[in-house]
Chains A and B, each alone.
Chain A
């Protein structure tokens, strides 16, 4: 059974600071996704990572994937208040037909 663990689960940071969210998974995967969810809202797709060493960047967010370590990171650079949200990673087991989600990291960026 595929398990996906995120840490930290809660993150409070100041504007302008950098931080990293980690996503570990337990079996081989061919696809990893990062999503953002604002309170009471739906999920918005941020990144899709397909191969070992893949790196994607959008604004102040950068996601990377290490398939050998079964680890993905979401790095936040110079955080701003607008980045406050819950971030989920979701993993597809190799050749599987479904995603398994992590518990989410609730990020709060304080002015």
Chain B
């Protein structure tokens, strides 16, 4: 089945640690996105990529980094510079930037 797979489902980060959230899609979509959702709030865009080897900052990129070396994969690293990382992280993809986005099941990140 085609879809977007995020892993892990739950992740715990220690102080000063970098952690990486995985996002893989087999939909052959060009565009991929990372969003952060805090409790009771909407989605805020962290980074997005329209094509392999290219990505742009969203509204809240500070403390995060991404790479897009393969079309299928768009991992997000939450660095130690992100002082308040506890949130629900959602990855999405779309055929192109003007087409509907399809979402993964999310990763819930907490601080130990």
Determine if A104 and B42 form an interchain contact, defined as CB atoms under 8 angstroms apart.
yes
Determine if A98 and B90 form an interchain contact, defined as CB atoms under 8 angstroms apart.
no
The complex places the Cα of A59 from the Cα of B97 at a distance, in Å, of 28
Rounded to whole Å, the gap between the CB of A45 and the closest CB of chain B is 5
The A-contacting residues of B in range 59-109, CB under 8 angstroms, are 90, 92, 97-98, 100-106
Determine if A48 and B100 form an interchain contact, defined as CB atoms under 8 angstroms apart.
yes
Closest to A4 in B: B42
B45 cross-chain contacts in A, Cβ below 8 A: 98-100
B33 cross-chain contacts in A, Cβ below 8 A: 98
Per-position contact with B for A4-44: 1 when CB-CB < 8 Å, else 0?
00000000000000000000000000110100000001111
Determine if A42 and B100 form an interchain contact, defined as CB atoms under 8 angstroms apart.
no
- Tell me whether chain B's interface is mostly helix, strand or loop, or mixed: strand
Determine if A43 and B41 form an interchain contact, defined as CB atoms under 8 angstroms apart.
no
Q: Among the interface residues B43, B92, B103, which one has the most CB atoms of the partner chain A within 10 A?
A: B43
Determine if A104 and B41 form an interchain contact, defined as CB atoms under 8 angstroms apart.
yes
The complex places the Cα of A17 from the Cα of B92 at a distance, in Å, of 34
Determine if B106 and A42 form an interchain contact, defined as CB atoms under 8 angstroms apart.
yes
Determine if B100 and A33 form an interchain contact, defined as CB atoms under 8 angstroms apart.
yes
A33 cross-chain contacts in B, Cβ below 8 A: 100-101
Task: Give residues in A with beta carbon < 8 Å to B.
Answer: 30-31, 33, 41-45, 48, 88, 90, 92, 96-104, 106
* 20 further A-B pairs in the complex, CB-CB below 8 A; given A45-B100, A100-B45: A31-B98, A42-B104, A42-B105, A43-B90, A44-B103, A45-B101, A48-B100, A88-B42, A90-B43, A97-B31, A98-B48, A98-B58, A98-B97, A99-B45, A99-B101, A101-B35, A101-B42, A104-B40, A104-B41, A106-B40
Listed by A's residue number, 19 A-B pairs whose Cβ atoms lie within 8 Å are: A30-B98, A33-B100, A33-B101, A41-B105, A41-B106, A42-B90, A42-B104, A42-B105, A43-B43, A44-B103, A88-B43, A97-B50, A97-B56, A98-B45, A98-B97, A102-B42, A103-B42, A104-B42, A106-B40
